Structures are given as structure tokens and as C-alpha cells.
Amino acid sequence: MRPILMKGHERPLTFLKYNRDGDLLFSCAKDHTPTIWFADNGERLGTYRGHNGAVWTCDVSRDSMRLITGSADQTVKLWNVQKGTQLYTFNFGSPARSVEFAIGDKLAVITTDPFMELTSAIHVKRIAGDSTEQTEESVLVIKGPQGRINRAVWGPLNRTIISAGEDAVIRIWDSETGKLLKESDKESGHKKTITSLTKAADGSHFLSGSLDKSAKLWDTRTLTLIKTYSTERPVNAVAMSPLLDHVVLGGGQDASAVTTTDHRAGKFEAKFYDKILQEEIGGVKGHFGPINALAFNPDGKSFSSGGEDGYMRLHHFDPDYFNIKI
Amino acid sequence: MAAEVMLMNEIEATAAQMGIDMNIDFSSIQLPPGENCGIISDDDDVYHDDQLEFDSGFGNVIVVDNLPVVPREKFEKLEGVIRKIYSQIGVIKEDGLWMPVDPETKKTLGYCFIEYNTPQEAELAKEKTHGYKLDRAHIFAVNMFDDFDKYMKVLDEWAPPEIKPYTPGENLQKWLADEKARDQFVIRAGTDTEVLWNDARQSKTEPVYKRTYWTESFVQWSPMGTYLATVHRQGAAVWGGANTFNRLMRYAHPQVKLIDFSPGEKFLVTYSSHEPSNPRDANRVVINIFDVRTGKMMRDFKGSADEFAVGGAGGVAGNSWPVFRWGGGKEAKYFAKLGKNMISVYETETFSLIDKKSLKVENVVDFSWSPTDPIIALFVPELGGGNQPARVSLVQMPGKEELRQKNLFSISDCKMYWQSNGDYLAVKADRYTKTKKSTYTGFELFRIKERDIPIEVLELDNKNDKIIAFAWEPKGHRFAVIHGDNPRPDVSFYSMRSTHNLGRVAKLTTLKGKQANALFWSPGGRFIVLAGLKGFNGQLEFFNVDELETMATAEHFMATDVEWDPTGRYVATSVTSVHEMENGFNIWSFNGKLLYRILKDHFFQFLWRPRPPSFLTPEKEEEIARNLKKYSKKYEAEDQDVSMLLSEQDREKRRMLKEEWEKWGSEWRRAQEEEKLERQKLRDGEASDEEEEYEAKEVEVEEVLDVSEEVLSFEE
């Protein structure tokens, strides 16, 4: 089916997130307003106004009631999804790069960038059921990794936090004590900045994408490297199909080099790989800038991509897709 | 020198007083360069570096002998004269002029030392002033300081040279006997240089040898593939061997920039150009010719860059490499250089000019050897505003007889293309139109092997078409031309042998509107790749000229280079580091099927290892061609086995991967089940976990039906 082209942002896309039911799609971009869309037809539902900087990330609660967004304006905001009102603002001394609700939505993990004399950090905040009781304190602050931490997510049963970033190392932390439990191997691990990290639907394994032109699949509990998918481009975004054994890698050459070459040189394609055989299945073209964000609808029948070009593309798969034999 | 001798005397005297036996020659303790006492050092290159630095310590010092012996009063005057002479040639170092004085008579000793900033200047000074007549009695004798050492070491009495025991060498041609009849190639990416087998049957490469920092600028195969040459600061080296790559020989040539082998890989030419200390002067060029096998330097040429500039009359800046072009086929009997109003032809037997003089040709701007015979084709442009026509001449060596000459009128430019067997020569002549405002192109075709060398003129159907590329079919009688104006030029094929009347050139076909700007014939002829490089972003068309049909069209996006393997079975296309992205290479079958592709960042070079001409007799080759079916059976069976094995391996591998994945899956499901209760607790008792446990198959089938209806309605 023809992709649905969604033009609602004026600046490059940064992050995409479906809600659990798969009927809503949240998008973040370098313009200051996260946007909510109908995941089926790409109709725009509304925007969340209040941030004063690029919005890097978001997450939505399991009941689709609350949205959390992290921004370069050094705040993380909680929103009422339906009304679009701000519920609470967490202030940090540096830009917030990633956020994720824990299982049960009572905790959130937030990463902040190194800024001025502050080092990068992972914060755990308690999210109050009633936002009037929300407080600023962190339950836990983890510091240590050098450079930006591009993504931090919860491990099984909220017992661990998995982080990845500029130093190309994936780390697993104890979410109670903040103790470092595991580190990815330098030899087998990524060689360059890890740009993205996404968990499988059941959280048992996760996929990391890196500027070293590869994506790697890891076991969440043991941090065992299971698969490596190599591509020709730096990887900015990764996604895993919840339905089939497919992974999608998005990326492209650095934005600064784009204008100097033929648009085809960029290969701004979302590339599909067989998750098990690690072989390329196909690609979805369309963007004319690097792909910064990818997300699968939880039903696995559509996915969306967001590019440096400011466009979002919503793809409903053709029937052929479900019969791909390799 | 005197100072040193005196020093020795003193030492000996002291030693005698102390009763020490002084029969050790001190100068012999220092090992001569290259000596290693039979211990092969693994940091050989480092050692070599040191050596070089040591050399440069005195390399820039010259000794000027036969100076007048003057008393103290005239010392300064003489010094002034010397300084004046020698500072014209280069920059003398501060305190770099030293004229020793006899301590008793206070007179000079008749010689002096001069230290320059660079060894090149010192060498130049030696060359220019050796034999300089200051007056009748004083003719300068100039030597390099380092040479004294060398000559002092020569023994006074002749000793028979030591005969080294014969050690059998490796079979340098072993790679040709590969059981699977594969070909090798070398690639350079980043700091790594790697030699690989092209295992096309299995669609992959197989490593042979890999080395980091193998070369400092590039690598090059010798024309018959025996050696791989590397280039270093100290000189060039060649590598080869039966199973791996060992260094076979080194050729000292500091700051070597370019190298070239003779066609039969007997000789190696090395080239370097040195910045002059005086910016107004031209660069100094040094060219050495070595015997590849022995490493012996056969001849060196030194001079300013101007002398080695090609196209002397036109005053073209810069040199075109190779400066020396080899002639006489594989034996490389001759080599020649273009000079001002002449072509200097040397023979390799004596390494001197044929008949001791160059071939005088007024205003010659270009020449080229026949690839097989000692025949030179040379081009002289139009002179005197058209009063004297341009001409192309064929000159036979070593007799220097003119075999054929053709005058050409109103010529703007001319290029010569030899067919690989030396059967034909095509001269592409750009002519001015009557108004002189534009040019059009025609071809003069020489049939070298026929009596009297007939010449035929060929003009394209559309005379105004620009010629973009021209290429002879190797060993064949056909040629291809890309002509027309961008963006979609035409490609035409011609044959020198038409079926009806032999001895006429005939057009075979014209392909209209192709995205091509380069032609790559298979080494065996018959097949050609029409490539659209650069502006065309790597369009490829594989064309069969026998059948005049396109076998395949393909694209290797951004491809910069195309090279056929020496057997004509495979084609390699590569994207080198001129582009930032996409670096790597593709291997195609001769008919345009992509076999495999490999990506490498910072990709610099891809070179197939050339093969020597077949060792089989023509009779044997013919016999093989006749019984090809019998031979091919064996290979077809092998091919089938390989593909069977491959698909078997493939299936096996996939099964393993699936199994392994299944193991992970069951592990995850088990853990998920175990943690189920706890997860519910975290969610305040909400039981729904269904999103995490999906069973998709049934849904899938249903959807297919649904959606297929939708597709139909969509098409309406």
C-alpha cells in the first residue's frame, strides 16, 4: 500500500512511539512540539505545547493516559494525553536524551547529556499516580559512562537498567543500587557511538544500532551477543517486528554530507533483515534525508519512519510482506 | 681525510706505548650497509631508516680537490672565489665551507669541504663543477665525501669473489597451478593490503596474505603477475613466492614516487622528483632502472624536470608516466623517451642509445611503441600555421627506417591506439572545420602486418560527433567507439575484416543513447562492458559483440573503476575512496550477473593479478578448443558438486541458526512465565500480558484474504 506521508513537523524527526493498543502514534522532532497521530490513517490529533527546545524522546503509559517527553530545554514533562495539558515538569541542568516508563508505570528512567561541567547521568524518578503529588527527587542517579548516553531502558521486572551511548559500550546496571552489573565486550561489541536501542515486545532481547554501520541483537538478562546485522550506512534507528522475525535498520550518511552528493548516494532506506538468518530481505525507500526514528505498530502490520527531512512515513504492509520466504 | 689519518696515528702510538696489539682495522668494525651478519632482523625497515639518517650525515658534503695552494695572505681571496662558485648551485650551510691549512707551512692543502643543505644539492654541485677549470693548472676534482669511504674500502689486491652455494628458489608461478583455476587480486583499504582468491563458485573471497602498512603509497603487479611491488620511502620492493608473499628483492631509491615494469617484467623503472632548494629551479628528477631479479641498477638518469617533461615542444608542464616507454614486445629490447625535437631510444643489451644518438624528429610531441614489434609510431603537429602539415610516421627500430608516413591537414590533436597484437594502429585525428571554430574527428587506420601498410580513413556517420572513448578488441579485429554528445552518446562497433571484401573496415552496429563513457573489452575479446562512470553514477552494460546483443544491464552505484580478470571470466567494479560512501567492490560474471559484493571503508586499489601468456603451444591450444566438450564435462561436474555442497551447507547453516534461535526463544518464554506473577504485581494485578505472547499465524492467513480484496478495489 502507498505509504502515508505525514508532514506535521518543521524540523527533523527524532523519535517515534506507538501506544500499546497501536491506535496512536507519538512523534518527537527538533521543533518544540511533540505530536499525536492516528496510527491508522495518519491524521493529526493534536500537539503538546510547552517545550522550549528540541524534543528528543517520549514514552506513553500502558493505559495511554500519560505521556512523558524529554527535551533539549533541560526538562522532562509529563502530559495528559487526552487534554494535552502539562502535568508536571522535571528540571535538569542539561538536556534530557531518553525517557522510559517502567513496567507498571510507577518509575521512569531518564538520561541527561553532559553539559557544561555536568557529566551525563541516568536518573530514576518515581511517577506518582496522582500528578498533584509528583515530586522532583530522583530515586537513583547513576553516573559513570563517558559521553552522551543515547538510550536507557528497563530490564525484566524493572530490576536492571540497560544503557548505551557514545562510548559504544552497552551496560547493565542494578536499578536498586546503581551498581554496574555487566558491560558489553569491546571486541565483539560496537565500535562507534550507539545511536538507538529497542527492546523486543516481551523484553527478552534488545537491538542496538550504531554509527559503526551495524546493529546487534543482545540477550537482556545475560548481555550475550546473539546476532549482528551489517549494513552500508551508519545506523540511526532500529526497530523489531513484533509479528515476524524481522528487524529494520534506518540511517544514512551524516546529514552534513547529504547536500554534496546525489540523493541516491545517501541510501536513506529502511532496510529489512531476517532476524534469525541475518540476511537482508528488502528496503523501503522514500526519505530524502537520513532516517532518525523507526517504530513498529504493536500489531506488526504497519511501521512508521521519521527522517532528517522532517517527514514521517507511515507504511501499512502489503500482503506479500507476510509471505516473504527466504 | 688528513685529520682522520692523524688521529689513527695518534691512537696507534698510544696503543704501542701501552703494549696493545693494534692490528684491528677500526674502519672495518662498522658494518657496511646491508650487512647483517646473517641475522635477519625483523625490524629490518627500522634499521633501514637509521641507515638512511646516518647516510644523510655526510651525504650533503662534497670534497673539492685540485685547488691552488695559497699562503695565508691569499686564503680569504680563494675562499671567496670558491664560495662564489658553489653558492650559485645551492645553499651552503653556515660554516659549511672548510679549507684546511697545513699547521706548519700555514698554506692551504689544495682541497676543501663544502656542506650543503641537502644531498641533492651536493650531488648537483658535484656534477656541475667536476672538471671545472679555475685556470690551466687547476681543474677541479669534486667527489662526494661518502664516496671516499667507499673507495677506501676497495682492497688493493684483487680477491676472487666468493661463490655462494646455489639455493633453489621458490616456484614463483605456483599460483597459476591453483586446483580450482581461480585468480588472485590485491586490494588496499585503509592501512591494510590484502591478496585474495576470487572464489566465484562459492561467491566469496579466500584470503591469501594480508599485511598492515605493506606499502607507503600503492602496490602494483608486475605485468606477468610474478611480483607484487610495494613502494617505500627508501625505495621499492617486490614480493612473491609459492605459498605466501616474501620479499624477493629491494631496490634502493629514496623518495621513490612512481614505478614501472618492463613488459616482460625483466626491468623495473623507479622515479622520484625532488624539490629544489632554490624555488626558481625546476624539480630534480631521478630515474633508475633495475634488473628485477638481481636487484642490480642497470642505468640511472638524473636531470631537471624540464628534460623529462613530455611533449617538449609544447612545453607541457609535468611529466607523464611512464617517462620511458618499453618497446620490442615481451623481451623489452628497447626503451624510449620523448625529448625536445627527438626521441631517445635505448637498447637494454648495453643500456645506451642506439647508434649512440637519439632519433631526431623536429617538434615531435607524442610517440608510442607497437605492443609486439620494435616499431615506433610518432606524431608531429602542424607547423607554420598550416604550411607544414602534421604527420604520423612509423619508424622501425633499431634501423630507424621510416616504414610509413601519412600527412594530415588542419589537425588540432591526435591520439594513437595500437591493437594488442600490433596488427593495427588507429590514429584518432581531431581536425578543424573550415571556419576553424570547431573540430571534428576521423580515424586513420593502419594495417601494420599487410604489405606496404595500407591506410584507411574512417569517418563517423555523423562527423560532428565527439569521440568519448575508443578501444580495440584485444587480440581481435574489432573496435568500439563511444561518440556523440552527452548525456546519451552512441556506441558503435567496427570490424577491420568485413565478410564481403576483405581489407575494408565495416560498421557492425550502433547502439543508440547509451549511458556510457568508458569501454572495457574482455581480455579474450568478444565481450565488452560499456560503463558509465563518474557522471553516469556507475551504469554497466555487458555486451556480446559476436551476437551483437546485450547480455545484462546493471548498476554499481558510484563505481569508479572497472577491471576484467586476466582470463575474461569475471569483472570487478569498485568504488574507491574518491567517494566518501559506498567504498568497496563487486564481482560480476562475464555476462553481468552479480556474484558478490564486499564493502571496505577507505578503499584505494583493486588489481587482478595478471597471468603470463599461456605456456601451451598453439597446437595444444587448438586441440583443447576442438575437444572443449570433453574437457568442460569435468568442470561442469565440479561446478555442480560445488553448488550442491553449497546449498547443502546453506541449508545446514540455516537449520543451525533456526535451532539456536529456538533455544533462545524457549529460554525467554520460560523466564517470561517464571516472572509472570511478579510482573502482574508490578502492574497492580493487571493480568493482561497478551501483547507479549502472540501467536500470529492464523491471523496472518485471514489478513491475506482481506487485503487482497482491497488491492483489487484499489486498482479500479
Show the 3-state SS of B491-513.
EEEEECCCCCCCCCCEEEEEECC
Do B529 and B562 meet the contact criterion of CB atoms below 8 Å apart? yes
Do B82 and B64 meet the contact criterion of CB atoms below 8 Å apart? yes
Is residue B388 very low, low, confident or very high in pLDDT (cuts 50, 70, 90)? confident
pLDDT at site B21: 54
pLDDT at site A187: 86
Residue B279 within a domain: no
SS3 call for A231: coil
Instruction: Please answer yes or no on whether A243 and B557 come within 8 Å at the CB atom.
Output: no
pLDDT at site B585: 93
Q: Does residue B432 register a pLDDT over 90? A: no
pLDDT at site B116: 87
pLDDT at site A56: 95
Q: List Cβ neighbours of A217 (8 Å cut-off, separation of 6 or more).
A: A205, A206, A207, A225, A226, A227, A228, A229, A247, A275
Do B146 and B123 meet the contact criterion of CB atoms below 8 Å apart? no
C-alpha cell at B436: 576553424
Residue B689 within a domain: no
Total domains present in chain B: 1
In chain A, residues with a C-beta closer than 8 Å to the C-beta of B575 are: none
Instruction: Please answer yes or no on whether A157 and B657 come within 8 Å at the CB atom.
Output: no
Residue B32 within a domain: no
pLDDT at site B688: 58
Residue B141 within a domain: yes
What is the pLDDT of chain A when averaged over all its residues?
90
Q: How far is CA B450 from CA A14, A310, B364, B423, B446, in A?
A: 73, 70, 26, 9, 9
pLDDT at site B304: 78
Do A216 and A227 meet the contact criterion of CB atoms below 8 Å apart? yes
Instruction: Please answer yes or no on whether B683 and A257 come within 8 Å at the CB atom.
Output: no
pLDDT at site B473: 93
Instruction: Please write the tens of the pLDDT for every residue from A8-44.
Output: 999 999 999 999 999 999 999 999 999 999 999 999 9
The DSSP element (H or E) to which B587 belongs, if any, is: strand B584-589
Domain that holds residue B146: 61-153
Relative orientation angle of helices B72-87 and B119-129, to the nearest 10 degrees: 110
Residues of chain B whose C-beta is under 8 A from some C-beta in A? 537, 557-558, 579-582, 599, 654, 657-658, 661, 664, 668, 671-672, 675, 678-679, 682-684, 691-694, 696, 700, 703-704, 707-708, 711, 714
pLDDT at site B580: 78
pLDDT at site B226: 92
Reply yes or no: is the peptide bond before residue A12 cis, omega within 30 of 0. Answer: no
Instruction: Please write the tens of the pLDDT for every residue from A285-299.
Output: 888 888 999 999 999
By percentage, how much of chain A surpasses pLDDT 90?
72
Q: Does residue B699 register a pLDDT over 80? A: no
Q: Does residue B188 register a pLDDT over 80? A: yes
Q: Taking Cα atoms as reference points, which of B554, B548, B585 lies closest to residue B187?
A: B585
Q: Does residue B55 register a pLDDT over 50? A: no
Is residue B609 very low, low, confident or very high in pLDDT (cuts 50, 70, 90)? very high
Domain A3-323 CATH assignment equals 3.40.50.300: no
pLDDT at site B41: 46
pLDDT at site B661: 92
pLDDT at site B356: 84
Q: Does residue A81 register a pLDDT over 70? A: yes
Residue B53 within a domain: no
Q: Does residue A189 register a pLDDT over 80? A: yes
What is the 3-state secondary structure of B330-386? Answer: HHCCEEEEEECCEEEEEECCCCEEHHHCCEECCCCCEEEECCCCCEEEEEECCEHHH
Q: Does residue B606 register a pLDDT over 60? A: yes
Q: What is the DSSP string of B387-426?
A: TB-EEEEEEETTTTEEEEEEEESSEEEEEEEE-TTSSEEE
- B682, B692, B707 member nearest A158 (Cβ): B682
pLDDT at site B13: 60
Instruction: Please write the tens of the pLDDT for every residue from B110-144.
Output: 888 988 888 878 888 888 888 888 888 888 888 88
Q: 0.90 exceeded by the pTM? A: no
Angle at B558 (CA atoms; ends B556, B561), nearest 5 degrees: 75
In chain B, residues with a C-beta closer than 8 Å to the C-beta of A245 are: 661
pLDDT at site B696: 44
The mean pLDDT value for A78-107 works out to 93
- A203, A275, A277 member nearest B654 (Cβ): A277
Is residue B410 very low, low, confident or very high in pLDDT (cuts 50, 70, 90)? confident
Sign of CA dihedral B576, B581, B587, B593: negative
pLDDT at site B27: 46
The mean pLDDT value for A59-84 works out to 94
pLDDT at site A235: 92
Do A155 and A173 meet the contact criterion of CB atoms below 8 Å apart? no
Bigger pLDDT: B657 vs B631: B657
The complex's ipTM works out to 0.83
DSSP state of A151: E
C-alpha cell at A81: 494525553
Give the number of other Cβ atoms within 10 Å of residue A272's Cβ: 22
Is residue B663 very low, low, confident or very high in pLDDT (cuts 50, 70, 90)? very high
pLDDT at site B413: 84
Lowest mean pLDDT among B626-635, B637-646, B652-661, B688-697: B688-697
Instruction: Please answer yes or no on whether B582 and A232 come within 8 Å at the CB atom.
Output: yes
Q: Does residue A223 register a pLDDT over 90? A: yes
In chain B, residues with a C-beta closer than 8 Å to the C-beta of A223 are: none
What is the 3-state secondary structure of B515-575? Answer: CCCEEEECCCCCEEEEEECHHHCCEEEEEECCCCEEEEEEECCCCCEEEECCCCCEEEEEE
Bigger pLDDT: A123 vs B159: A123
Q: How far apart, in whole angstroms, are the C-alpha atoms of residue A230 and residue B149?
A: 60
Q: Does residue B290 register a pLDDT over 90? A: yes
Bridge partners of A282, per DSSP, are A272
Sign of CA dihedral A78, A83, A84, A89: negative
Q: How far apart, in whole angstroms, are the C-alpha atoms of residue B420 and residue B612?
A: 15
Q: Does residue B375 register a pLDDT over 60? A: yes
Instruction: Please write the tens of the pLDDT for every residue from B3-43.
Output: 444 555 565 566 566 555 555 444 444 544 444 544 444 44
Q: How far apart, in whole angstroms, are the C-alpha atoms of residue B177 and residue A238?
A: 48
C-alpha cell at B716: 479500479
In chain B, residues with a C-beta closer than 8 Å to the C-beta of A261 are: 579-581
Nearest-by-CA chain A residue for B683: A104
Q: How far apart, in whole angstroms, are the C-alpha atoms of residue A310 and residue A31?
A: 10
- Calculate how close chain A gets to B598, using CA atoms only, in Å: 10
By percentage, how much of chain B surpasses pLDDT 70?
84
Residue B317 within a domain: no
By percentage, how much of chain B surpasses pLDDT 90?
25
CB-based contact (8 Å) between A103 and chain B?
A: yes
Q: How far apart, in whole angstroms, are the C-alpha atoms of residue B39 and residue B33?
A: 14
pLDDT at site B103: 86
Instruction: Please write the tens of the pLDDT for every residue from A162-171.
Output: 999 999 999 9
Sign of CA dihedral B411, B414, B417, B422: positive
**Amino acid, res. A15:** F
Instruction: Please write the tens of the pLDDT for every residue from B162-186.
Output: 888 887 778 888 888 888 889 999 9
pLDDT at site B5: 47
Is residue B716 very low, low, confident or very high in pLDDT (cuts 50, 70, 90)? very low
pLDDT at site B570: 94
Q: Residue B82 maps to which CATH number?
A: 3.30.70.330
Task: For chain B, give percent helix, strand, coil, nearest 5.
Answer: 25, 35, 40
pLDDT at site B702: 52
Do A26 and A58 meet the contact criterion of CB atoms below 8 Å apart? yes
Q: Does residue A199 register a pLDDT over 90? A: yes
Q: Does residue A234 register a pLDDT over 60? A: yes
The mean pLDDT value for A223-243 works out to 91
pLDDT at site B47: 41
Instruction: Please answer yes or no on whether B580 and A318 come within 8 Å at the CB atom.
Output: no
- A104, A157, A319 member nearest B675 (Cβ): A157
Q: Does residue A261 register a pLDDT over 80? A: no
Is residue B706 very low, low, confident or very high in pLDDT (cuts 50, 70, 90)? low
**Per-range mean pLDDT, top range of A118-122, B457-461, B632-636:** A118-122
- A104, A219, A298 member nearest B683 (Cβ): A104
The mean pLDDT value for B38-61 works out to 51
Pairing of strands A13-18, A4-6: unpaired
